[in-house]
Amino acid sequence: MCPTCKKRRIATNDTVCRTCRSFIAKYIDTGAICQQAVPMVADVLLAMRELGVNQEQAVLILGGTP
């Protein structure tokens, strides 16, 4: 299972699933979303929608603490 979203299977040599990799490349690696201890609400909602995860998981993905 993907350690990021905890929902999807990953390939043998991958570290995250295709969906999470796409989200990271599109938003985090480009700097569109900055990882913060307290992520912005809009960023959390975007992560929830794009990855299909709950609010707590989205906060963790964005670098926040539960």
pLDDT tens-place string over residues 5-58: 988 999 888 999 999 999 999 999 999 998 888 999 999 999 999 999 999 999
pTM of the model: 0.84
What's the DSSP call for residue 37? S
Q: Residue 49, Cα to own-chain centre: how many angstroms?
A: 10
The region, left, alpha or beta by phi > 0 then psi within -120 to 50, assigned to residue 48 is alpha
